[in-house]
Chain A
Amino acid sequence: MKNRLLWPVLALVALLVLNVVVTPSFFSLRLQDGHLYGSLIDILRNGAPTLLIALGMTLVIATRGIDLSVGAVAAIAGAVTCTYIASGGDPWIGMGLALLLCAALGLWNGFLVSVLGIQPIIATLVLMTAGRGIAMLITEGQIVTVDSPTYREVGAGFLVLPIAILISLAVLGLVALVTRKTALGLLIESVGVNPAASRLAGVKARTIIWTVYVFAALCAAVAGLMISSNVSAADANNAGLWIEMDAILAVVIGGTSLAGGKYSLTGTLLGALIIQTLTTTVYTIGIAPEITLVFKAVVVIAVCLMQAPIRIRVRQGVPA
Chain B
Amino acid sequence: MSNSVMSPPAKPSGSSRGLGQVVSKVPSRFLPVIATFVVFVATFGVGSARYEGFASGQVMANLFIDNAFLIVLAVGMTFVILTGGIDLSVGSVVALSTMIAASALQAGWPAWLVVITVLAAGSGLGLAMGWVIHRFGVQPFIVTLAGMFLARGLCFVISVESVSIKNPTFRDVATGTIELPGGVTITYPVVIALVAVIAAVYVLHLTRFGRTVYAVGGSESSARLMGLATTRVKIGVYVISGFCSSLGGLLFSLYMLSGYSLHAVGMELDAIAAVVVGGSLLSGGVGFVIGSVVGVLVLGTIQTLISFEGTLSSWWTKIVIGALLLAFIALQRIIVRRT
Contacts and interface: CB of A to CB of B under 8 A. Distances in A.
Interface stretch (B18-26, B50-58, B135-143): B135-143
Contacts of B157: 288, 291, 294
Interface string B36-71: 000000000000000000000000000000000000
Interface stretch (B177-185, B211-219, B313-321): B313-321
B261 interface: yes
Interface range, B side: 35 or more
B138 A125 contact: no
A249 B145 contact: yes
A130 B261 CA distance: 25
Interface in B292-339: 313-323, 325-326, 329-330, 333
Contacts of A297: 146-147, 149-150, 153
Nearest to B86: A121
A128 B269 contact: yes
Contact of B282 (A117, A122, A131): A122
A54 to B, nearest CB: 14
Nearest to B152: A293
Interface string A255-295: 00011000000000000000000000000000010111111
A102 B6 CA distance: 55
Nearest to A302: B146
Contacts of B106: none
B30 interface: no
Q: For this complex, into which size category does the number of interface residues on chain A fall?
A: 35 or more
B153 A126 contact: no
A288 B155 CA distance: 12
A157 interface: no
Contacts of A140: 313
B154 interface: yes
B139 A258 contact: yes
B173 interface: no
Contacts of B139: 258-259
B80 to A, nearest CB: 13
Given A125-B269, A304-B143, A288 B156 contact: yes
Given A258-B141, A304-B136, A136 B318 contact: yes
B136 to A, nearest CB: 4
Nearest to B322: A130
A70 to B, nearest CB: 15
Contact of A118 (B269, B313, B319, B329): B329
A89 interface: no
B86 A125 contact: no
Contacts of A129: 269, 273, 318, 321-322, 325
A133 B319 contact: yes
B90 interface: no
A292 B269 contact: no
Nearest to A245: B145
Given A119-B282, A126-B326, A294 B150 contact: yes
Contacts of A131: 322
B132 interface: yes
Given A122-B276, A291-B156, A294-B153, A133 B315 contact: yes
A304 B150 contact: no
Contacts of A315: 137
Nearest to A259: B139
B160 interface: yes
Contacts of A127: 322
Contacts of A1: none
Given A116-B333, A294-B154, A304-B138, A121 B322 contact: no
A118 B147 CA distance: 26
B33 interface: no
B318 A133 contact: yes
A293 B138 contact: no
A89 B276 CA distance: 41
A140 B315 CA distance: 9
Interface string A228-269: 000000001000000001001100100000110000000000
B284 to A, nearest CB: 11
The 4 closest A-B pairs by CB, nearest first: A130-B322, A133-B318, A293-B153, A294-B153
15 contacts: A116-B333, A123-B329, A125-B272, A126-B322, A140-B313, A141-B314, A258-B139, A290-B156, A291-B156, A293-B153, A301-B143, A304-B143, A305-B136, A308-B138, A312-B137
